Amino acid sequence: MARVAVDAMGGDRAPEEIVAGALEAAKSGIDVTLHGPSRLDTYGLELVVAETVIGMSEKPAEAVRAKPGSSLVSACRAVASGEADAVVSAGNTGAMLAAGLLEIRRLPGVQRPAIAVPIPTRGGPSLLIDGGANADSRPEHLLQFAVMGSVFCAEILGNPKPSVRLLSIGEEPEKGDQLTIEAHALLRESTAIDFQGNAEARDLLRGAADVVVTDGFTGNMALKLMEGTIKELLDLLREEITATTTGKLGGLLIRPAARRIRARLDPDTYGGAYLLGLRGLSVISHGNSGRRAIANAIQLAARGADHRIVDRLSESLPGRAPRGEAPVGAPDVH
């Protein structure tokens, strides 16, 4: 049975919504452990007491160092010690990254862990990797991201032969910046993935590929730009529709359609972002996650544990060593 450690105090709606999501996931047979203050022992879930909390705006590395007893660090430590297979938190993203590197540590052979973010598109999820774990990357990192993303798609999203594309500014292999052009050549040569060439940004929300590979700067930018563009367009639409009486009536009539679109584009379906390349699965849910997002995150994390995704990632990357050995290189935050 998959064991998932949940940071009960992470996120804007903690602990109520987090606990509710954890309870829902526990009902489906997942071994969920809460990490949080002792007052949370009334819910019937296993509790590891962690009295301090890392705030959403605290400086990540400093906060992780200063608060080893926080719910976030405690949940990560449960994975590090082998008590849990995966950790879920809707708390401070940077702190999750830092705690993941510091406590859970990199898998042997992984140069840079990366954030994988499932984007809901009309054809199903499209996995963007790296969503922002690394601001600067080298071509060989992008190749590893592609391999890790493909394993994630196969094991967690249930897509056995995911297509991979490289995000660039044109479909031709020679289009792009130096990093992208060199990464394209590496990806093309790889037999570990089903590489189908470059993807254009304009196709991202349409579902350019099962796995879309990019560096963390571009990936993070793209995610925030899509989010902001969708929000601004819907705001404009609301403004213009409510500006006239006829518009308001029309707005009422299209409300179910608007609701269906929101459901189709709902990132909560996939629970958040997945930090891949550590010795355990780490899920970073949105700061405003409600019970549904948390339950989905826990379920996907459990699925990853059941499918032994960490072993699969380890096997698929070069320079691997058995789990439990010393890491090949300590991360910078150590």
Task: Return all residues near 329 (Cβ < 8 A) that are at least 6 apart.
Answer: 106
In the list 1, 185, 243, 330, the residue contacting a copy of itself (rule: CB under 8 A) is 243
State the binding string over 163-202 for a copy of itself (x if CB under 8 A, else -). ----x-x-----xxxx-x-------------------xxx
- Find the binder of a copy of itself among 67, 215, 279, 294 (CB under 8 A): 215
**Residue 330 lies near a copy of itself (rule: CB under 8 A):** no
Phi first, then psi, for residue 300 (nearest 5°) are -65, -35
CB 281 within 8 A of CB 115: no
Is 1 a binding residue for a copy of itself by CB under 8 A? The answer is no
- As measured in angstroms, the least distance from the Cβ of 110 to a copy of itself is 20
Q: How far is the CB of 215 from a copy of itself (least distance, A)?
A: 8
Q: Work out how close the CB of 58 gets to a copy of itself at its nearest, in angstroms, rounded to a whole number.
A: 13
Residue 264 near a copy of itself by CB under 8 A: yes
CA angle 188, 185, 197 (to 5 degrees): 50
Supply 319's token pair.
């320079």
Kindly write out the interface string for residues 90-129 of this chain, putting x where it contacts a copy of itself by CB under 8 A and - elsewhere. --------------------------------x-------
Stretch that binds a copy of itself, among 2-10, 73-81, 219-227, 323-331 (CB under 8 A): 219-227
Q: Mark out the alpha helices in the chain (DSSP H runs).
A: 16-27, 60-66, 71-80, 93-99, 139-155, 178-189, 216-241, 245-253, 255-264, 291-306, 309-316
CA distance 1 to 306: 7
When asked if residue 232 is in the footprint of a copy of itself (CB under 8 A), the reply is yes
First to last CA, the chain: 32
Q: What is the DSSP letter of 146?
A: H
Residue among 100, 34, 75, 136 nearest 277 (CA) = 100
Interface stretch with a copy of itself, choices 7-15, 235-243, 313-321, 324-332 (CB under 8 A): 235-243
Give the interface segment with a copy of itself, choosing from 17-25, 36-44, 106-114, 239-247 (CB under 8 A).
Answer: 239-247
Mind giving me the DSSP string for 155-210? HTS--SS-EEEEEESSSSTT-S-HHHHHHHHHHHH-SSSEEEEEEEGGGGGG---S
Smaller CB distance to a copy of itself: residue 42 or 246? 246
Sign of the Cα pseudo-torsion (121, 144, 73, 45, in order) = positive
Site string for a copy of itself, 150-169 (x = CB under 8 A): -----------------x-x
Q: What is the dihedral of CA 232, 233, 239, 242, to 10 degrees?
A: -140
Residues 61-90 touching a copy of itself, rule: CB under 8 A, are: none
Q: Which of 29, 55, 250, 318 binds a copy of itself (CB under 8 A)?
A: 250
Size of the site for a copy of itself (CB under 8 A): 57
Three-state secondary structure call for residue 55: coil
Q: Which is nearer to a copy of itself, 161 or 255 (CB)?
A: 255
**Alpha carbon separation from 266 to 17, 125, 251, 285, 286 (Å, rounded):** 17, 11, 21, 13, 12
Single out the residue of 33, 220, 299, 314 in contact with a copy of itself (rule: CB under 8 A): 220
For a copy of itself, the binding residues (CB under 8 A) are 122, 132, 135-136, 167, 169, 175-178, 180, 200-206, 215, 217-218, 220-222, 224-234, 236-237, 240-241, 243-244, 246-247, 249-258, 260-261, 264-265
